Structure 1
Amino acid sequence: MEVITYSFPATKKIDSQAHVGVVGSGDLEIIMEPTDKGYAEVTIRTGTIGFNDTWKYVLERFFSKNEVSAKIKINDFGATPGVVSLRLAQALEVSHNVDSIKK
């Protein structure tokens, strides 16, 4: 198991916590929590070792478009970069639309 951490500058806040995905074959789980810090803190737990550069690229791309201040935990089970991007976008959408989802 490898644990990777990154931080990215942030200027926007999210409304609430989000939890998307499941840890299973070829997928991942993302937990996104709001913070008042001026940066995003990302912690990745993965059994697929040696993909630090890929993780960094995918996350840099996400945060270049979404400068959200959040604590993000990613539990990976071999997800592809496309799945990671999709789950990050889903978590961001859920964190902004919790009230509409509850209704």
Structure 2
Amino acid sequence: METLNFRFDSGQRKLKPAPELVGVVSSGNLEVLIEAAPLNGACAIEIKTAARGFGAIWEAVMTDFQQRWQLADTRISINDMGATPAVVSLRLDQAVEAMLGDAK
């Protein structure tokens, strides 16, 4: 397993306090836990992945995600079993949309 950590400062969108879990960890998929956290306006992302050596791809996907959503005071935990970047983006978007509800 490889663990990757990313932090994006100066987000503008805060989420509701209740955590949200989407996806399942199984062959070729991942789960995403997203929760509000006091991070001085930052979004912190921790990824545990079975696929080693893809840090640059993860960084690109996480940067694109944060540019789309501009999250603040948010902690995201990802458990990955080899999901494609498209599936990662889908699961992240699902989690944020569930957290935003009608506030979007």
Common fold by TM > 0.5: yes
Deviations 1:28-75 (A, max 9, x none): 000000123210010000110000000000010010111112100000
Cα RMSD after superposing both structures: 1.2
CA contact (8 A) 1:13 1:36 kept: no
For residues 80 and 26 of structure 2, the distance between their equivalents in structure 1, rounded to whole angstroms, comes to 8
Give the equivalent residue in structure 2 for 1:8.
8
What secondary structure, in the 3-state scheme, does the structure 1 residue paired with 2:57 have?
Answer: helix
Structure 2 gap ranges (5+): none
- One-letter amino acid of the counterpart of residue 7, structure 2: S
Higher mean alpha-carbon deviation, 65-74 vs 83-92, is at: 65-74
1:1-103 counterparts in 2 under 5 A?
A: 1-9=1-9, 10-15=11-16, 16-37=18-39, 38-69=41-72, 70-97=74-101
Structure 1 moving runs of 4+ over 6 Å: none
For residues 97 and 36 of structure 1, the distance between their equivalents in structure 2, rounded to whole angstroms, comes to 21
The size of the alignment, in residue pairs, is: 98
Whose strand fraction is larger, Structure 1's or Structure 2's? Answer: 1
